[in-house]
Amino acid sequence: MPGNLLDTDIYFPQTRGKNQEQINRDILNYLRLLQEQLKYSFGNLGVDNFNSTELDTLAKLIRDPVYMAIEDVDEKFATELAVTAEGIDLRLSNAEGDLTTVISTADTLRTRMESAEGSLTELTTTAEELSASVTDLNTGMSHTLRLGSDGMTVYDAEGNSVTISKGSLALTGAITWEDLGSDAQGRVTTVEGILDNWKTVVDGRTCIDGGMVTSAVVAAKSLYGEQINFVSGDSGLISGYLEVQPTTTGTGVGLWSTSGMRVCANGNLFLASYTLNKWSGNPDIYGTTLTLNDDRIQIGLGPLVAGNRETLGTAALPWGTIYSTSSSITVSDRNRKHDIEPLPDKYADMIDILEPVRFKYNDGTSGRYHVGFIAQSVKAAMDALGIDSTEFGGYVADVDEDSNPIYLLRHEEFIGIVWAKAREFDKRLKALEGVR
């Protein structure tokens, strides 16, 4: 048991009459006793053990830097402390290679922690700002946070940064948001005053300003809005827009341009109307298709589309004039027809009733006369000869855009009637001439 430090002389070893081995053993035991007594005495040492006046005097005498180094017996841990007039420097380490350094001055506090595996964390604090960085010394990857009264900035090893300052957010590099699910994400807000808020787009820079995002490239799976405007970067004016609007088959999309419109493709251009599969959402059956190839225009030749279904124009909205180098080609293959039979005589008799006329179109622009038949006259001849509209496809009855009746003709079907009448005349002529 430790005793009073003043009693150490009582236990001082006696050497008279002892051999050297005994003397060495007694001295070693005494030193161990002295060590325990010193530990006990200094462990219980306080200001009460000193004269206060002398203690103050002693403190005033200390003007030189103080250096301390403490190391355990096994040398696994070590602490070094340096106290100077400028500040305090503390260093702590262990046998594994981990190291912590703390440096404190009147205006700055720095802490550096480095692990044996290569991880490094540094923290610097001043009255104006706080800076913290975490670095992987093996890969060079790092992130630094700077927090000051003027804002907060986060940097990475490549120099990309995010700065929040005075109500604004400035970014360099790329930013990705994930899992932003909330009711607010599903709302669509109309952005007013788009021209006033227009920002110049710079390649590689994205600006988010209130309800507006400007960027060189925007990739999105869906765009929401009743109307999406295309604004010219030069003039700041709306050049065109996509608009959600009702159609005859439901809600559709309209593409509008304030002036001309150019559609170009480095290859074939394919336009199609189709029916969506209600389960998969994919095109199930194509309707009308338009394909522009290098050397031809195809209508109704898209995937899953049968021929003989598409129409150019309608009775309500007919085409004007069609220019072509050669005449149209009509399918006349026997294998594509049925109920083939000779033409009854009453068809040829239409020639005796029909009166060819010349006329001008109400909406014509040339002022010239045209030659042909009047559809109502053809219908009157058919009725007189007992020819039903299902028996002669050359006559067509339909309605215009105002649902008023409109009548049309397929003039090429009159060729067969004229041919039959010509053969009839030919037979009569040969009979009169006595030719069999």
pTM, entire model: 0.44
Q: What is the mean pLDDT of residues 141-166?
A: 87
Q: How many CA atoms lie within 13 A of 429 on its CB side?
A: 6
Q: Tens digit of pLDDT for each residue in 373-429?
A: 999 999 999 999 999 999 999 999 999 888 999 999 999 999 999 999 999 999 999
Phi and psi angles of residue 333, each rounded to the nearest 5 degrees, phi first: -70, 130
pLDDT classification of 341: cutoffs 50, 70, 90? very high
Tokens for 276? 């969506």
Residue 134 has pLDDT above 50, yes or no: yes
Domain ranges, ordered by start, for the chain:
5-48, 64-170, 223-262, 342-433
Q: Tens digit of pLDDT for each residue in 7-18?
A: 555 666 777 778
For the chain, the residue count is 436
Residue 39 has pLDDT above 80, yes or no: no
**C-alpha distances out from residue 282 to 140, 274, 279, 287, Å:** 48, 10, 8, 14
* Fold assignment, 342-433: Arc Repressor Mutant, subunit A (1.10.10)
Q: What is the pLDDT of residue 328?
A: 84
Q: What is the mean pLDDT of residues 42-56?
A: 71
Give the CA angle between residues 337, 341, 342 to the nearest 5°: 135
Mapping DSSP onto H, E and C, the string for 376-396 reads HHHHHHHHHHCCCCCCCCCEE
Of 178-192, 354-368, 415-429, minimum mean pLDDT range: 178-192
Nearest to 215 by CA among 174, 164, 185: 174
Of 255-259, 309-313, 387-391, minimum mean pLDDT range: 309-313
DSSP secondary structure code for residue 409 in this structure: E
**C-alpha distances out from residue 325 to 328, 329, 410, Å:** 10, 12, 21
Helices (H), 313-413: 345-348, 350-353, 375-385
